[in-house]
């Protein structure tokens, strides 16, 4: 006979046993945690493939399931890890976790879940591999860069991707891409398009317009010669037995590519708009009203390009017809930057049967706190930045298509020197068409020698190509004096850096308005309509000091930091851009 106290303990033990059993039954907390864990490790299928190095330390325990599981979970960014885990569990049903006895429910559940994942993987991977993607950028750095980033993003999801451009521009794009490892770049198949010979004159700093008219021979040769090799490449990919669908992504300035895609029996074309969505909004009548309602002064790109390029664009881009053959439009932007403009444009395109996929930022989002690369891999300017205080450096660069006159360079140099602020200045002329050719000593070499000594180590001048993404991601960088090309604007905002806007041509004036007036994340150095004037050093110095050493500037920099966090959130799991990117992949692999 049990005593009363013994009976009470027995009853209590029984209740605990029932509670424990309930926790592992359907709906129980342990069962829920197990399901969550299974969901976590199997969700690797939906993540970007990026193989991770195995754990360095191994011991006797590594033979046990728990340690194998721990190792595999740390490398679950790739789907192959999930399949390896499934194989481990299938091969040894008696393995146990450290400090536990056998867990048959655990093993059965994970084996079942991962078997399902493996089946899904096989089916979906077959779908992925039967869709070939061909990307054709316009041959200018900002356009090459955006479509290469998009190509790399798609290739990282397992899609076969072909990137086609003239030979010089293929080398240019590969040499300058930032934020991707060599293995990632090797996933993309590059094709060199044969085009006719073209002149490659240097930029003219004294030209009436800052527009890079010296690149016109390249662009004319491209649009005259590229259609034939592009059509041949598309037919080749289309006819390959493995491609049930050919998805062609083309720059809006390459309308002919969309037309060629429409001729394929299994082709679909999608235009990538390489400028701000709000810029595209303006070209609709209702959009003009929206821009005016926001108190923004739209500065059409046509006001800041020479007649020669306008005629070229009208002949070759056929902007009004670019959408006609396309199945949809992609944009390198996000809601944190242009939410209301995106909301306006999406139904406008939907009414024309076009889906809008807003998938930006396309550039990699670098982590300033990530472990450093070896010194052999890092640019020297990054070591210099490491030695500077947080948020203390002004980064100055005017992109790949802008050239300052000699007088203006002297005034900017005096302003940087007089401001007593730390800076990195990328002092180089606009690209030539044959960008990687040796063009001799920079015209800035003498100024560089004269300028750097008086700054007493506060500044660093770079006359070659600079790692802009890494500079913007660095914690020592506070702000960016920029020409406001869309690439640079998105890169700066995505890394939370305020902008000192110095627009020069094309869509740059609008980008400056968007940043300074709409987002309130920058100050205007000079309006574009005054491009013919030389801005005196005192005026430049004043705006530098306002950004770097005033409460007003601190407020703007904090605003840019908040925008950067929102932009990064848009590109991560659950964010608006990630959802659009996933939706685009689901759509083209349907």
Q: Model confidence over 403-425: pLDDT tens digits?
A: 888 899 999 999 999 999 999 99
Q: For 110-133, what is each residue's pLDDT tens digit?
A: 555 555 555 554 444 555 568 999
Residue 2: its pLDDT value, please?
58
Helix (H) / strand (E) containing 247: strand 245-251
Residue 114: its pLDDT value, please?
55
- Give the whole-angstrom CA distance, residue 395 versus residue 368: 16
Residue 34: its pLDDT value, please?
65
To the nearest whole number, what is the mean pLDDT of the chain? 81
The number of C-alpha atoms within 13 Å of 521 and in the hemisphere containing its C-beta is 30
> Do the Cβ atoms of 498 and 557 come closer than 8 Å?
yes
Give the strand order in the sheet containing 498-501.
Answer: 459-462, 422-426, 393-397, 477-482, 498-501, 522-524
The model carries a pTM of 0.78
- Give the whole-angstrom CA distance, residue 498 versus residue 558: 8
- Give the whole-angstrom CA distance, residue 116 versus residue 88: 15
Determine the angle formed by the axes of helices 445-452 and 406-419, rounding to 10 degrees: 20
- 522 CB burial (10 A radius; 0-12, 13-18, 19+): buried
Q: For 523-553, what is each residue's pLDDT tens digit?
A: 999 988 887 899 999 999 999 999 999 999 9
When pLDDT is averaged across residues 311-321 and rounded to a whole number, the result is 60
* Domains along the chain with CATH numbers: 25-47+58-126 (no CATH), 131-365+575-588 (3.40.50.2000), 380-570 (3.40.50.2000)
- Give the whole-angstrom CA distance, residue 498 versus residue 513: 13
Q: Is 251 a catalytic residue?
A: yes
Helix (H) / strand (E) containing 340: helix 335-350
Residue 471: its pLDDT value, please?
98
Which of 149, 162, 191, 251 is catalytic? The answer is 251
> Do the Cβ atoms of 127 and 120 come closer than 8 Å?
no
Residue that is written with structure tokens 């000593």 in the block: 441
Provide the percentage of residues in the chain whose pLDDT is more than 90: 54
> DSSP letter string over 550-585?
SHHHHHHHHHHHHHHHHHHHHHSTTSHHHHHHHHHH
Helix (H) / strand (E) containing 267: strand 267-273
Find, among 405, 404, 388, the residue nearest to 396 by Cα. 404
- Could you tell me the pLDDT band of residue 511, with boundaries at 50, 70 and 90? very high
Which of 143, 162, 214, 495 is catalytic? The answer is 143
Least confident of 19-33, 69-83, 506-520: 69-83
Residue 154: its pLDDT value, please?
98
> Do the Cβ atoms of 44 and 78 come closer than 8 Å?
yes
> Do the Cβ atoms of 282 and 298 come closer than 8 Å?
yes
Q: Is 587 a catalytic residue?
A: no
221: pLDDT strictly greater than 70: yes
Nearest 5°: phi and psi at 219?
A: -65, -40
When pLDDT is averaged across residues 257-267 and rounded to a whole number, the result is 94
CA-CA-CA-CA torsion for 182, 475, 508, 428, nearest 10 degrees?
Answer: -70
Strands 161-166 and 188-193: parallel
Dig out the tokens for 251 from the structure: 């720059």
Dig out the tokens for 187 from the structure: 């996933």
Least confident of 112-121, 285-294, 334-343: 112-121
Dig out the tokens for 535 from the structure: 């801005």
Compute the C-alpha angle 160/485/331, nearest 5°. Answer: 40
- Could you tell me the pLDDT band of residue 309, with boundaries at 50, 70 and 90? confident
When pLDDT is averaged across residues 354-382 and rounded to a whole number, the result is 82
- Give the whole-angstrom CA distance, residue 270 versus residue 249: 5
Least confident of 41-50, 320-329, 449-458, 563-572: 41-50
Q: Coil, helix or strand for 438?
A: coil
Least confident of 91-95, 280-284, 383-387, 466-470: 91-95
22: pLDDT strictly greater than 90: no
């Amino acid at each position: 006979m049990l005593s009363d106290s013994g009976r009470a303990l027995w009853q209590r033990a029984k209740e605990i046993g029932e509670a424990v059993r309930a926790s592992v039954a359907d709906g129980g907390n342990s069962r829920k945690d197990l399901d969550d864990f299974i969901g976590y490790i199997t969700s690797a299928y939906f993540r970007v493939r990026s193989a991770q190095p195995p754990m360095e330390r191994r011991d006797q325990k590594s033979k046990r399931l728990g340690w194998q599981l721990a190792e595999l979970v740390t490398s679950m960014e790739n789907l192959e890890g999930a399949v390896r885990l499934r194989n481990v569990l299938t091969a040894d049903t008696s393995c146990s976790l450290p400090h536990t006895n056998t867990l048959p429910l655990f093993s059965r559940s994970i084996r079942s879940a991962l078997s399902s994942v493996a089946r899904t993987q096989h089916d979906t991977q077959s779908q992925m591999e039967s869709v070939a993607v061909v990307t054709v950028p316009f041959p200018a750095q900002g356009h090459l860069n955006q479509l290469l980033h998009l190509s790399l993003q798609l290739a990282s999801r397992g899609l076969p991707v072909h990137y086609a451009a003239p030979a010089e521009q293929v080398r240019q794009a590969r040499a300058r891409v930032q934020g991707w490892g060599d293995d990632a770049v090797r996933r993309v198949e590059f094709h060199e398009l044969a085009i006719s010979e073209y002149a490659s004159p240097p930029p003219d700093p004294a030209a009436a317009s800052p527009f890079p008219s010296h690149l016109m021979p390249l662009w004319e040769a491209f649009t005259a010669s590229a259609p034939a090799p592009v059509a041949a490449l598309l037919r080749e990919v289309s006819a390959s037995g493995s491609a049930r669908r050919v998805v062609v992504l083309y720059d809006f300035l390459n309308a002919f590519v969309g037309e060629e895609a429409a001729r394929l029996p299994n082709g679909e074309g999608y235009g990538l708009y390489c400028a701000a969505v709000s810029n595209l909004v303006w070209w609709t009548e209702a959009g003009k009203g929206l821009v005016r309602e926001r108190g923004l002064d739209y500065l059409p790109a046509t006001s800041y390009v020479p007649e020669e390029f306008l005629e070229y664009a009208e002949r070759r881009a056929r902007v009004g017809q670019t959408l006609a053959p396309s199945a949809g439009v992609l944009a390198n932007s996000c809601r944190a930057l242009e939410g209301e403009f995106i909301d306006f444009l999406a139904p406008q395109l939907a009414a024309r049967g076009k889906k809008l996929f807003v998938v930006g930022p396309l550039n990699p989002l670098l982590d300033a706190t990530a472990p450093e690369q070896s010194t052999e891999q890092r640019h020297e300017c990054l070591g210099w930045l490491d030695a500077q205080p947080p948020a203390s450096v002004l980064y100055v660069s005017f992109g790949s298509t802008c050239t300052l006159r000699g007088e203006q360079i002297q005034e900017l140099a005096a302003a940087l020197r007089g401001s007593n602020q730390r800076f990195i200045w990328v002092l180089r002329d606009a690209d030539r068409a044959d960008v990687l050719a040796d063009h001799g000593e920079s015209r800035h070499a003498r100024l560089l020698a004269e300028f750097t000594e008086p700054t007493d180590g506060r500044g660093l001048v770079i006359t070659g190509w600079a790692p802009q993404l890494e500079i913007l991601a660095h914690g020592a960088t506070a702000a960016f004096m920029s020409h406001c090309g869309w690439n640079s604007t998105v890169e700066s905002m995505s890394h939370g850096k305020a902008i000192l806007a110095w627009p020069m041509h094309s869509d740059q004036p609008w980008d400056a308005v968007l940043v300074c007036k709409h987002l309130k994340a920058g100050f205007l150095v000079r309006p574009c309509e005054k491009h013919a004037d030389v801005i005196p050093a005192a005026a430049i110095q004043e705006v530098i000091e306002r950004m770097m050493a005033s409460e007003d500037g601190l407020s703007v920099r904090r605003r840019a930091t908040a925008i950067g966090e929102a932009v990064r959130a848009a590109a991560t799991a659950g964010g608006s851009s990630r959802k659009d990117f996933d939706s685009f992949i689901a759509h083209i692999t349907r």
